[in-house]
Amino acid sequence: MANVSPIERALDIIELLADHPEGLAVSDLARRLKLPKSIAHRLLAILADRDFAIQDGVTQHYRLSIRTAALGLRFFGNIGLNEVCQPILSRLAQRTGEFVRVCAEENGELVWVAMAQANSEGLRYDPPMDAGPALHATANGRAWLSTLKEADALAQVRSKGFILPRNHASSSVTNEQQLLEELKQIRERGYAISADESVVGITAFAAPIPDREEGPARGCVSVAGPSVRMSPSRGREIMPDLLAAAKELGEIWPIPRLKKFASISTS
Q: What whole-number distance in Å separates Cα of residue 85 and Cα of residue 111?
A: 14
- In degrees rounded to 5, what are phi and psi of residue 99? -85, 130
Phi, psi of 260 (to 5 degrees): -55, -50
pTM over 0.75: no
Dist. CA 113–CA 105, nearest whole Å: 10
Bridging pattern class, strands 219-226 and 99-106: antiparallel
Give the number of other Cβ atoms within 10 Å of residue 253's Cβ: 23
Q: Which domains does the chain have, with CATH numbers?
A: 6-69 (1.10.10.10), 80-266 (3.30.450.40)
Check if the beta carbon of residue 100 is closer than 8 Å to that of residue 244: no
How many other C-beta atoms are found inside a 10 Å radius of the C-beta of residue 18? Answer: 14
Q: Which of 13-22, 58-67, 235-244 has the highest mean pLDDT?
A: 235-244
Kindly report the average pLDDT of the chain as a whole number: 85
pLDDT at 264: 38
Is the distance from CB of 136 to CB of 179 less than 8 angstroms?
Answer: yes
| Integer Cα distance of 263 and 267 in angstroms | 6
- At position 70, the amino acid (one-letter code) is A
Q: What is the pLDDT of residues 18-62, one digit of tens each?
A: 888 889 999 999 999 999 999 999 999 999 999 899 998 889 999
Higher local confidence (pLDDT), 100 or 122:
100
Q: Using one digit for the tens of pLDDT, what is the confidence trace for 51-97?
A: 899 998 889 999 998 788 777 767 766 666 667 788 999 999 999 99
CB burial class (10 A; 0-12, 13-18, 19+) of residue 248? middle
Dihedrals phi, psi of 126, to nearest 5 degrees:
-130, 75
Are the C-beta atoms of 142 and 136 separated by less than 8 Å?
Answer: yes
Nearest-angstrom CA–CA distance, 190 and 206: 9
Secondary structure (3-state) at 45: helix
Phi, psi of 219 (to 5 degrees): 170, -160
Distances 116 to 59, 74, 102, 180, 198 between C-alpha atoms, Å = 36, 20, 9, 31, 19
- 99 DSSP β-pair partners: 224
Which stretch, 63-77, 203-217, 245-259, has highest mean pLDDT? Answer: 203-217
Q: For residue range 142-182, list pLDDT tens digits in order.
A: 999 999 999 999 999 998 888 776 666 667 787 899 999 99
3-class state of residue 103 by DSSP: strand
**Residue 199 pLDDT exceeds 80:** yes
- Does the pLDDT at position 258 exceed 50? no
Cβ atoms < 10 Å from Cβ of 209: 26
